[in-house]
Structure 1
Amino acid sequence: MHARLLLFFLPLAALLSGCGARDDGSIPIAIIDNADEPFARSGSGRAAAAWDDATDEGLVAFDAYGRVIPALADRWIVTDDGTSYIFRLRDGNWPDGTAIDAESARRALSDAIRRQRGSPLGADLGRISEVRAMAGRVLEVRLNQPVPDLLVTLARPELGLLHEGRGAGPMRGSIAGRTGTLSPLNPEARGLPAEIGWEARARDIELTAMSATEAVQAFADGEVRVVLGGTIADFLLTDRTGLSRGALRVDDVDGLFGLAFVHRGGFLASAENRAALAMAVDRQALMEPFGIGNWEARLGMLPREGPTGRLLPLAQWRDMSLVQRRSTASARVAQWRSAHGDIAPIRIALPSGPGGARLFESLARDFAAIGLQTERVGFGAPADLVLLDQVAPSSDVEWYLNRFRCGLARRICIEEVDGLLREARRENPRAARAVLIDEAAALVEAQQIFISFGQPVRWSLVGGGIDGFQTNALGVHPLMEIAMQPR
């Protein structure tokens, strides 16, 4: 629980209202997104992802708890060797009235996978070797290597299936500027059995893209009932009066939250000097101003265990106390300065907003403790370090390594790691492949290309009467789940 929740008071009106909807029955929701065209299909922001998730079903989807549930596929099996997922599609139609069959779904999924080429998600999908249409409504996804969390990946909004440019639900809607209105499709329209009382449970969603400041204010004023898409950049905006008790929800997610070295020259050219910066950071003090209870600091970028089941090697400095770490780091800075002269200020790219400012204050103090000056820059400006803040779908080491592939992140990659991952993709024996990934993980650790802080921060604001929202380990909050009242 967030430490400041004890300061929030629930107004009497909120206690009495309970329904969480407008007079017309719709639920007003704000999503934090500053893009000029937040709902553009080519967009990569939070609003576009939420809209696509609601209107473009994939083979599977997420429920309110982040669990995988049927979507266009009503059931599936996985072969014993884990290299084939066979889906049976539900009986239904695409928006133009044509039947959803294996061939049309194959084309749609292949197109969705193709659109992700050159992205980290595309790298995650790299173990898919073929998508095959089988008889009638049966579709097979073949893999060249097992992917235990394939269903979690297929449930992502980027892998929603389109037919003639449109998705099959579970909602339909229209967009006007920065606001979109979504209506749930009834079960019959989705090829599912009719449900008694379904219409009484379904509510429309009015989704508006706002800045974080606007969204929090709109929630405090009762203009919206839910705020989605919060990150560390805007978390401190929730520290205000007027927010109801229990409104703030923080997802217990995992992933990458820290600084990547995008420039590795001068003092930062050696792994031991890059490690000096990681050693200087007091992670608990860094996050203390945010007051997030149970937040977990992480000294390393990767999960502790590799695919072979062995513990991954750790840098020796991780066993030191903060005082010892800073003493060692200070000596490295002094030695380099004595041999090479002054060290330019370390340029750190952080998000705008109060969260970014507070992170910089702490980091500047930490780096000053070992003799380094700092400069804050915006995203896109020349930098030495840039904040990475991404939620992981699982503890798969390869997911973490894919974020540092050279074809995707040239400035922060390691060529040798790419080579090991390519070789692992070609290996058929699972044990041999696991050893190669372990080697790649050990190399990343040795090269110190990332300063890990700990868990990413994902937060929402939720008013009374919203039953379809649950915090979860993936930080996913499907609008269809929020729209439906419980039975």
Structure 2
Amino acid sequence: MTGAWKKAISGLAAAAMLALTACSGSDSSPLGISIIDPATKTNLDAARLEPGAAYLRAATSQGLVRLDALGNIVPGLAERWIVTDDGLSYIFRLRNARWENGDTVTSEHVAAALKRRLQIEARSAIGADTAEVRDIRSMTGRVIEIRLLSPQPELLRILALPELGIRRNGSGTGPLAANRQEYWTLLTERVDDSLAPDLRRMVRPLQVRTESAAKSIARFSLGESAMVLGGRFEHLPYLSAAGISDNDVRADPVAGLFGLLVVNGKGFLGDPANREAIALAIDRDALMTPLGIGQWQTTTRIVPLGMGRYQPLIGDRWTDLSLDQRRDLARGRIVRWRQANAALPELRIAMPRGPGARLVFGRIQRDLEAVGLSARRVAPDARADIVLIDEVAHYRQPGWFLNQLACAVRPLCNQEGDVLLAQARRAVDPAVRMAKMAEAEVAITSANIFIPLGTPVRFSLVKGNVPGFAITADGWHALPDMVVIPR
């Protein structure tokens, strides 16, 4: 049992009798939900949303569209929409809605808010996903149009992201209302006055806490919450320490990027061949073994196979080499570097906090030592040479994976691949778009700036069958659907 776990379990046990539980009382009693979040403050308007802020923003500040419990796109502020045949214009008709202060929502409000947010996201992966947005304009009081320079087939799914939830003067339009308490946020459904009383749904409030993994899992093990959201690989050791039943663990079959990103391109790491040496040294099959993951999906690819009409120009790497042969190749490059240059640096690798990250880093450190490299683990926000990237794909197209590594997003990138990626975004013909992306993948892969390791890990903890919760392909669990009590 780790020190963090002991501290969390003792503090929560003392408060157990006073807590408002989610598993007792009537069906309309609050549903207790803990969201694992390393942040000490929840800022719904931050440039980068931490997990708690993302869930609360999505719940209280919906976008033009949003995701339901199953991950489907459903109406948000827009009651309906059309897409022109050329895919260059999305026209949304807004429903009647009001801001928290009672003011009527207008298309001018929405267009201005969405423009502001896209400016904030300009140097993020979302900015890369929306780079082809040419204009956002109000057409009438309730109609808004988004014009594109080239088609973006996944635009609706992008607009459903929490970051693109519509806010004005620090407030949104629901579908839930937030009442901040001392230790939690109480989310309740905003009343729709347009519905007759007999047509309104039976609902319950959500009692949402954003807290550390240790506290979240401790609270769940004591029966003080019905659900924990936001579990990642670094949190897995807490489950065995808490005695969490396998029946309570819900793993999401996500795709995304999980690997090492080089952020310092100087010295030893300035040579793509040396960066490849790191990739060659790592035993991917054994990386997650300390966490008890028996069938973790490893990869040497940036873009996974099976992406629709996408035809990659590069296959899995080093399939003709054994691990020992790969390490011999890496070791030879490192010896040659040492002979021609000063002493090798100690590589600073930024990893998330948590016992699982310590265990995985231990494997990486040992693998690098096997080829003559030394490494030190540093905090996620510390100065580093390499950082662990652990991101879930918001949509399963090659563009998402490559946009994560664009020059506008990452401090170290491949210029050739970036140019090809920009050409792909501008392509109107889908076949040309896919071909340019395949060329971009080859260039970015060959640069060895990102070292793919495997598939991200995402899980939740759920007591029994909670209505409104479902396993999803993107690891996102919409809070608004959880307030509904089935009749």
TM-score (norm. length: structure 1): 0.88
How many positions carry a matched residue from both structures?
Answer: 465
The aligned counterpart of 2:414 is 414
Q: Does 1:142 pair with 2:150?
A: no
The aligned counterpart of 1:386 is 387
Residue identity matched to 1:75: R
**Which whole-Å CA distance do the structure 2 matches of 1:376 and 1:34 have between them?**
18
Q: Does 1:91 pair with 2:96?
A: yes
**Which whole-Å CA distance do the structure 2 matches of 1:452 and 1:51 have between them?**
31
Change (3 A) 1:424 1:301: closer
Change (3 A) 1:267 1:107: closer
Residue identity matched to 2:73: V
C-alpha contact 2:258 2:389 (8 A) present in aligned 1: yes
**Which whole-Å CA distance do the structure 2 matches of 1:317 and 1:405 have between them?**
25
1:357-376 to 2 correspondences below 5 Å? 357-376=358-377
Which string of whole-angstrom CA distances, capped at 9 and with x for unpartnered residues, describes residues 428-459 of structure 1?
A: 55554444333222110111111111111111
**Which whole-Å CA distance do the structure 1 matches of 2:254 and 2:247 have between them?**
19
Q: Which runs of 5+ in 2 are unaligned?
A: 1-20
The secondary structure found in structure 1 opposite 2:254 is coil
Q: Does 1:456 pair with 2:480?
A: no
Q: CA deviation at 1:211?
A: 1.0
Residue identity matched to 1:35: A
Q: Does 1:82 pair with 2:92?
A: no
Change (3 A) 1:21 1:298: farther
The aligned counterpart of 1:317 is 318
Q: CA deviation at 1:66?
A: 1.2
RMSD: 2.5
**Which whole-Å CA distance do the structure 2 matches of 1:180 and 1:21 have between them?**
19
**261-270 or 275-284, which moves further after superposition?**
261-270
C-alpha contact 1:307 1:437 (8 A) present in aligned 2: no
Residue identity matched to 1:38: T
**Which whole-Å CA distance do the structure 2 matches of 1:339 and 1:256 have between them?**
34
Change (3 A) 1:196 1:455: farther
Q: CA deviation at 1:319?
A: 3.8
Change (3 A) 1:19 1:269: closer
Aligned match of 2:178 in 144, 148, 173?
173
1:157-306 to 2 correspondences below 5 Å? 157-186=162-191, 188-189=192-193, 191=194, 193-194=195-196, 196=198, 198-199=200-201, 201-292=202-293, 294-304=295-305
**421-430 or 294-303, which moves further after superposition?**
421-430
Q: CA deviation at 1:388?
A: 0.6
**211-220 or 165-174, which moves further after superposition?**
165-174
Change (3 A) 1:323 1:468: same
Change (3 A) 1:341 1:19: closer
Which string of whole-angstrom CA distances, capped at 9 and with x for unpartnered residues, describes residues 160-196 of structure 1?
A: 112443211110012135521110123x24x5x4474
Which string of whole-angstrom CA distances, capped at 9 and with x for unpartnered residues, describes residues 118-171 of structure 1?
A: 222122111111123234533222111111111111111111112443211110
C-alpha contact 2:228 2:461 (8 A) present in aligned 1: yes
The aligned counterpart of 1:438 is 438
**Which whole-Å CA distance do the structure 1 matches of 2:44 and 2:172 have between them?**
15
**95-104 or 476-485, which moves further after superposition?**
95-104
**65-74 or 86-95, which moves further after superposition?**
86-95
Q: CA deviation at 1:414?
A: 2.2
Q: Does 1:20 pair with 2:28?
A: no
Q: CA deviation at 1:94?
A: 3.1
Residue identity matched to 1:30: S
Q: CA deviation at 1:460?
A: 1.2
Report sequence identity in percent. Answer: 38
C-alpha contact 1:21 1:28 (8 A) present in aligned 2: no
Which string of whole-angstrom CA distances, capped at 9 and with x for unpartnered residues, describes residues 375-431 of structure 1?
A: 222223332211011111123222222222333322x22233333334445555555
The aligned counterpart of 2:115 is 110
